[in-house]
Structure 1
Amino acid sequence: MSWVFGRLDAARVWRELAGAEVNYSVAEVRRPEWNIDTHRHGLPAERPGPPEPGGSWEHACRLVRGYEFSPPETVRALFDPDAPLLGRDMLLEARFHGLHFYCGVRVTEIVDETRDDGDRVWGWAYETLEGHLERGKVTYQVIKHQDSGRVEFVAESYSQGAPTLGPVVSFGWRVFGRQQQLRFYRRCGARLREFTEAALRGEPVPSRPAPRVGRLVVAPSDAKVTRWDAVAVHRAGPG
């Protein structure tokens, strides 16, 4: 684990994720030690019945697959777009003012089903890897309620701060981490609704190709590098 001032070789850190393991056991997950959350966000509705071709559910699924919903001022992701979604390693960059924390996650589940109540669901989940600021799992799902036509974006998660953090980072996480986490989910829902509405109007979403680092892409595609990134302080390490 290391702190780096200025620009970081993020592609090298991403490659190191291949040797990292998930940093928790499901058997550990229980309240009150863990935050267990469900965040629901309404998307443009469709007519009742199966998802409509070119409709809200299809557009939202495409955007969720590409991690376009993430607010770039808070969390960005670096990954290989040609790798299968299941098993994909993603290097998340959590940005907090002048501090950038690089954290590894791995996609460990794909959700693609019609449930007993008729809901059509697609999504995926990632789990945190060794060295992450947190321990836990997040599942992102787009749900079409076929009886009513209602469409939702749902993020289900369980998490806690990683016990291996140093004292300074642990203190900062206790003070600011939960607040930032909840803000992140609110912004994700607002962005996905905005982008889905734009796609339904016929606007290209995303509006430009994703930035690249070699063969890797940076998501969301509206992430920008600014001059302040050159003076940021990074916490980096495998996972």
Structure 2
Amino acid sequence: MAQWGLGRPDTARELAALADAGINYSPTEVRRPAWTLDTHLHGLPAERPGPPEPGGPWERACRVVRDYEFTPPESVRALYDPAVPLLGRNMLLQLRFHGLHLYCGVRITEVVDETRDDGARVWGWAYETLDGHLERGKVTYEVVKYRDTGRVEFVAASHSQRAPDLDPVLTLGWSLFGRRAQLRFYRRCGVRIRDSVTADSEGRAGPMPPATPPRAWGLVWVPSDAGARFAHSPEIHCVTPGG
């Protein structure tokens, strides 16, 4: 059941509670037109043809993706335990819409680390939505280097659907703003990771620092450039908005 309140909820407790949550959909359900299927490609600084260069754009982009530092802080922030291995890690997402903050859980269910038949070197991971999430579905984030040309890309692919048990207020909000918010999120992810990789290659301070993100009680809030997280304006929040 959706839990509404004022101020920040106990986010450490909510993250811990995700251990008992299940994936809130079945892949057998995914088909158009009931589901939205997206693939967003964002070009990154290129390398020379061949395998990824040590310390080059592909490796730097992988680091940013690994830590989920590319998420736009005005839209989505995330809390996780860095001591938990990437595969199987739960993250508590804070979805932000002006003064309304929605807290939803996701779990990393896949790590991609391969060289494909065409020679492309790929690294990334995917999360799936947990019980109580605003949406149902999966997002895969990958960094790809094409060995033949040196081209490097960030790819975000997803299938998604509004959770069926949203209350009337959130259902209306999703109808009015949901798709636009999705598309803006993917655009901003591409801009942020490209800016970070470019700034890093030029020795400038990028939009997200390479240092370890700030921690609270052993947990990590990302992205690191979001500013203070425990001294902020009052919020209206909803935990497990998907019921």
CA displacement 1:137-169 (0-9 Å, x = unmatched):
000000000000000000000001000111111
What secondary structure does 2:183 align onto?
A: helix
**3-state SS of the aligned residue for 2:225?**
coil
Q: Residue in 2 aligned with 1:140?
A: 141
Q: For 2:126 and 2:204, how far apart are their aligned partners in 1? A: 28
Structure-2-length-normalised TM-score: 0.94
Distance in 1 (CA, whole Å) between partners of 2:113 and 2:8 is 39
Counterparts of 1:59 and 1:233, CA distance in 2: 36
| DSSP 3-state at the match of 1:52 | coil
Which deviates further from its counterpart, 66-75 or 217-226? Answer: 217-226
- CA offsets, 1:205-228, max 9 Å, x none? 642542222110001111123798
**Gaps in structure 2 of 5+ consecutive residues:** none
* Residue 7 of structure 1, CA deviation: 2.0
Cα RMSD, aligned residues only: 1.7
Equivalent residue pairs, number? 239
| Whole-angstrom CA distance in 2 between matches of 1:41 and 1:194 | 11
Amino acid at match of 1:99: L
How far apart are the structure 1 equivalents of 2:231 and 2:172?
25
Kept in 2, the 8 Å contact 1:94–1:101? The answer is yes
Partner residue of 2:215?
212
Report the Cα distance in structure 1 between the residues aligned to 2:70 and 2:58, rounded to whole angstroms.
14
TM-score, normalisation: structure 1: 0.96
Q: CA deviation at 1:237?
A: 3.4
Task: String of CA shifts for 1:107-145, please: whole Å, max 9, x gaps.
Answer: 000000000011000000000000000000000000000
For 2:52 and 2:204, how far apart are their aligned partners in 1?
Answer: 20
Shift of 1:8: 1.7
User: Where does residue 6 of structure 1 map in the other structure?
Assistant: 7
Aligned to 1:80: 81
Distance 1:198 1:19 in 2: 40
- Compared CA separation, residues 238 and 11, structure 1 to 2 (3 A): farther
In structure 2, the residue corresponding to 1:95 is in which secondary structure?
A: strand
The amino acid across from 1:103 in the alignment is C
SS at match of 2:141: strand
Contact 1:77/1:90, CA 8 A, preserved across alignment: yes
What are the within-5 Å matches in structure 2 for residues 91-102 of structure 1? 91-102=92-103
Q: Residue 156 of structure 2: SS of its match in structure 1?
A: strand
